[in-house]
Amino acid sequence: MGHPILNLVAQRIALGLLLLFLASGLIFIGTQILPGDVAQSILGQSATPEAVANLRKELGLNDPAYVRYFKWLAGLLQGDLGTALSNGKPIGEAVSYRFSNTIFLASWAALFSVPLAVILGLFAVQYKNRWPDKLISGVTLASISLPEFFIGYLLMFYVAVILGWFPSVSIPNESMSLLEKLDTIALPVTVLVLVVLAHMMRMTRAAILNVMQSAYIETAELKGLSPFTVIRKHAFPNAIAPIVNVIMINLAYLVVGVIIVESIFVYPGLGQYLVDHVSKRDVPVVQACALIFASVYITLNIIADLVSIIANPRLRHPK
Amino acid sequence: MSDNLLEIKNLKIGATVYPPGEKPHDITIVHDVSLILKKGQVMGLIGESGAGKSTIGLSSMSYGRGGVEITGGEVFVNGRDILKIQAHGLRELRGREVTYVSQSAAASFNPAMRLMDQVIETTLLHGLSSKAQAEERAVELFRSLGLPDPENIGNRYPHQVSGGQLQRVMTAMALCPKPDLIVFDEPTTALDVTTQIDVLAAIKKAIKDTGVAALYITHDLAVVAQVSDEILVLRHGNMVEHGTVQQIIEAPKEEYTQELVKAHSITHEEKKPTDNPILRVENITASYEGTIKVLKDVSVDIHAGQTLAVVGESGSGKSTLARVITGLLPPSEGRIVFDGKELTPALVDRSLDDLRELQMIYQMADVAMNPRQTVGQIIGRPLELYFGMKGAEKRKRVVELLDEIEMGEMFIDRYPAELSGGQKQRVCIARSLAAKPKLVICDEVTSALDPLVADGILKLLLDLQKIENVAYLFITHDLATVKSISDSIAVMYLGELVRYGTKSEVLSPPFDDYTDLLLSSVPEMKLGWLEEVLAHRKMESAGN
């Protein structure tokens, strides 16, 4: 112990847990001020006041808010996400199926977009202000400027309907082989890649260009290294921290922000599940999904922080 | 022809400049420079900033820094014109035949790579030897350059090694691939005077041991005299004079060279201390974040209209002393008496008048001025703040001040970017004097300037002291400056006052070991000075 890195890592993780706790509070408060009454919406407009009152009592909705919050929190700590109001089933099961689907989609999108973004960024640096750089910037900026539902429907129309290469609806199931699954999710993955590519590419380019101003880059050039070696060995390692940060934000977006893409392609992911249950006023499901999204965000950002800390030789090797 | 390692013929170098408020245009920064360097020879390129000396040095690697372009002439290395070869051929030249040692080794090492990997990178790249052989050679070089723990220092990262050591590691990096020519670009300028001497000795020994040829670029004639065989004096991109070291130093022909040789010609007769000092620093002890004491029980006096010079190397606490006096760093013990009354320790509690009477001038005039204000606004601000001057009255006073700093009214609407380094420092001086202070703290005010420009600034400060009767606390690491302007001197070492008294007392023997080291480390403009000093040294610098 005593190594500054370990202290920093412990500090970050502790902060992450605190943040998660605060997020759970915010989520709970947020769902409490939603309009409407769960019991009422379960039973429908024609329910008698007695029936609504009974159901409220049964669901524990008459307890004060803080009691319900701590009950919920205690359940969470034991791994119990609660029971869906709409169908009475445990939320955990549905969520784990949906969440693994979302992760499946996000992982494949990340697997293509992150290396592609970094490589394109490196190329853009090498051909700075020449046509390859302008082409890369232009295309990626155009793709980020189009709303994702627009790209989604565009691809669906041309690639799925006219060309017939991939299915327009992406519903993978257990009996499919990996290849069949990939074929199924090809279109949503493409949309997601196009959406996150520009941000990561631009940041890679900017971070490396910033480092390229340093005196040690001149030293490397005067050593007779080839331009690409200079970028790879001397510029890139010093630009990791900002690049990783922006990659993590985009990875988080791939998990949390896919709601629209999932809805378009009717993909059975967590986003679509959340949207369905918001319209049903199923508060426990909304809370559970929001909390999962929050933990994904916080975890990925902690990882980004940790990578930046570890990438810094001053912290890794103190005097 | 065969033993001409480097031959530069009629070299012309240009660049495009973007002056504020004007259209971009091309300028020539090197006009028609020619030189011949034989194998194993060392040539000193000397001149002030803007003389084109670095640009010429880098042209021997066919490299133009920041948009600089070689527009004419020929550069032969080992008989072939390197300006005509393509990028791939240049990569064979760079790092193999010609290597480079820069001014700031601290910035020139990749912070994310171990030193050893950087030192042997070129050797491996050009396939000159196996990794094990290269590492062995590097360790050998570390040892001969006098680096501590030569077997293991290569495993360190740049931030784990001191500035003087990094400069030597960079020299090892340049020597490792056994080049024919090394370009040394001000390799000791950023170092303390006491560290400079060790690095200089290491470089000289390395050149002698390996028989490598060198272009040694510097603005310091006394330094270059220790390592070179020949000297080429440059000014504004033109050749002024070329000769052997002895001829240049002992019998310079051109007027400009003569000026360079006798720089630091200012003399100043010391004034006697008075009974009532304007500032008393009494038993000050101070630390950052309460842990390490950076000032230990320091007491000095400054007298009205006189100059106290505080000298020492980096880490001696001299700038911290200034921070304590200005109130930026309240001391943990001791007190400061200014003009008969005790000053409150913290800046925020001081009255406007206390602030007015104590002004500062900084090393970097560039960053001490708002780039979006004109000279008139910069100098006018203290007039407005302290004296409530406005309009014509303020303008009149600004013009007076501009006359005092020998610049004149035509500069009033200029922006800092349109001024030279010396002019910027003059504006900073005028700004501090506008407040009619009793004491001005000058923190390394001439360190960033060329010697002749620095001389002008010192002369101005002395003249203004006579007119305004202002006292100076002059912080510097440069003893030549101290000799020319001070009335009393305080020598500091690792936070302690090691020697203090009037100029004649401090500079007369017998010396304590540290003052002796400091005094003897100032390069002197004579041949063989380096060897003489090293033979007589009693202690080493704290930065080693």
Q: Please check the confidence at residue A170 and state whether its pLDDT lies above 80.
A: no
Cross-chain residue pair A224–B108, CB shorter than 8 Å: no
- Residue-level pLDDT at B263: 64
User: Chain A interface, mutation test: which of B108, B122, B152, most A Cβ atoms within 10 Å?
Assistant: B108
> For B92, which of A222, A224, A313 is closest by C-beta distance?
A224
Contact present, A109 and A189 (Cβ < 8 Å): yes
Q: What is the DSSP string of A265-280?
A: TT--SHHHHHHHHHHT
- Residue-level pLDDT at A220: 92
Q: pLDDT by residue (tens digit) across B319-349? A: 889 889 988 888 888 889 988 888 888 888 8
Domains of chain B, each with CATH number or no CATH: 4-261 (3.40.50.300), 279-374+432-508 (3.40.50.300)
Question: Which is more confident, B370 or A58?
Answer: B370
For residue A95, give the amino acid letter: V
Closest by Cα among B108, B111, B135 to B121: B135
Q: How close is the nearest chain B Cα to the Cα of A113, in Å? A: 26
Cross-chain residue pair A238–B95, CB shorter than 8 Å: no
Cross-chain residue pair B112–A219, CB shorter than 8 Å: no
Cross-chain residue pair A218–B160, CB shorter than 8 Å: no
Asked if A210 reaches chain B (Cβ–Cβ under 8 Å), the answer is no
Would you tell me which residues 234-253 of chain A have a C-beta closer than 8 angstroms to some C-beta of chain B? Answer: 234, 237-238
B447 half-sphere exposure, CB direction, 13 A CA radius: 22
* Positions of chain B with pLDDT lower than 50, given as ranges: 1, 543-544
Contact present, B179 and B96 (Cβ < 8 Å): yes
Cα dihedral B406/B407/B409/B411 (nearest 10): -170
Number of A to B CB contacts under 8 A, please give it.
72
Q: How close is the nearest chain B Cα to the Cα of A308, in Å? A: 12
- Burial class (CB within 10 angstroms; exposed 0-12, middle 13-18, buried 19+) of B251: exposed
Cα dihedral B385/B391/B393/B397 (nearest 10): 60
What DSSP character marks residue A166?
A: S
Asked if A226 reaches chain B (Cβ–Cβ under 8 Å), the answer is yes
Its sign, for the CA torsion A43, A49, A50, A54, is positive
Q: How close is the nearest chain B Cα to the Cα of A177, in Å? A: 44
Q: Residue range A249-274: average pLDDT?
A: 84
Q: List the beta strands (DSSP E) in B266-344.
A: 279-288, 292-302, 307-311, 333-338, 341-342
- Residue-level pLDDT at B377: 92
Q: How close is the nearest chain B Cα to the Cα of A122, in Å? A: 18
Collapsing DSSP to helix, strand or coil, B170 comes out as helix
Asked if A44 reaches chain B (Cβ–Cβ under 8 Å), the answer is no
Rounded Cα distance, B406 and B426, in Å: 8
Percent share of chain A, pLDDT over 90? 5
Q: Any idea which of A58-72, A296-310, B304-318 has the lowest mean pLDDT?
A: A58-72
Widest pairwise Cα distance in chain B = 75
User: Chain B interface, mutation test: which of A211, A214, A216, A315, most B Cβ atoms within 10 Å?
Assistant: A216
Q: Which residues in chain B are closer than 8 Å to A219, comparing Cβ atoms?
A: 100, 102, 108-110
Place of tokens 């003399």: B267
- Burial class (CB within 10 angstroms; exposed 0-12, middle 13-18, buried 19+) of A216: buried
Please tell me which residue of chain B has the smallest CA distance to A219: B108
Strands of B230-235's sheet in order across: B98-101, B181-185, B213-218, B42-46, B230-235, B238-244
Please tell me which residue of chain B has the smallest CA distance to A238: B112
Q: Residue range A2-22: average pLDDT?
A: 85
B12, containing H or E segment: strand B4-17
**pLDDT confidence tier of residue A2, bands split at 50, 70 and 90:** low
- Residue-level pLDDT at A36: 65
- Residue-level pLDDT at A1: 43
Q: List the beta strands (DSSP E) in B80-229.
A: 80-81, 98-101, 181-185, 213-218
Rounded Cα distance, A137 and A201, in Å: 8
Q: How close is the nearest chain B Cα to the Cα of A232, in Å? A: 12
Quickly name the fold that domain A96-316 has.
Answer: MetI-like fold (1.10.3720)
> For B108, which of A219, A311, A313 is closest by C-beta distance?
A219
- Residue-level pLDDT at B1: 47
- Residue-level pLDDT at B259: 82
Residue intervals of chain A classified under CATH 1.10.3720.10 are 96-316
- Burial class (CB within 10 angstroms; exposed 0-12, middle 13-18, buried 19+) of A136: buried
Question: Which is more confident, B445 or A175?
Answer: B445
Q: How close is the nearest chain B Cα to the Cα of A300, in Å? A: 24
Collapsing DSSP to helix, strand or coil, B38 comes out as strand
Cross-chain residue pair B110–A314, CB shorter than 8 Å: no
Place of tokens 């605060």: A22
Instruction: List C-alpha distances in Å: B197 to B107, B222, B520.
Output: 21, 12, 10
Q: Residue range A13-40: average pLDDT?
A: 83
CB within 8 Å of B173: residues ≥ 6 apart: B99, B101, B118, B119, B122
Contact present, B347 and B415 (Cβ < 8 Å): no
Q: List the beta strands (DSSP E) in A145-184.
A: none
Contact present, B473 and B325 (Cβ < 8 Å): yes
Q: How close is the nearest chain A Cα to the Cα of B89, in Å? A: 9
Task: Take residue B166 and report the two structure tokens written for it.
Answer: 């990094």
Task: Take residue A251 and report the two structure tokens written for it.
Answer: 């990875």
Q: pLDDT by residue (tens digit) across A143-156? A: 888 888 888 888 88
> For A225, which of B65, B111, B125 is closest by C-beta distance?
B125
In angstroms, how far is CA B130 from the centroid of its own chain?
A: 39
Please tell me which residue of chain B has the smallest CA distance to A239: B112
Q: What are phi and psi of A214, to 5 degrees?
A: -70, 155
Q: Please check the confidence at residue A35 and state whether its pLDDT lies above 70.
A: no
Is this prediction's ipTM beyond 0.95?
Answer: no
Please tell me which residue of chain B has the smallest CA distance to A236: B112
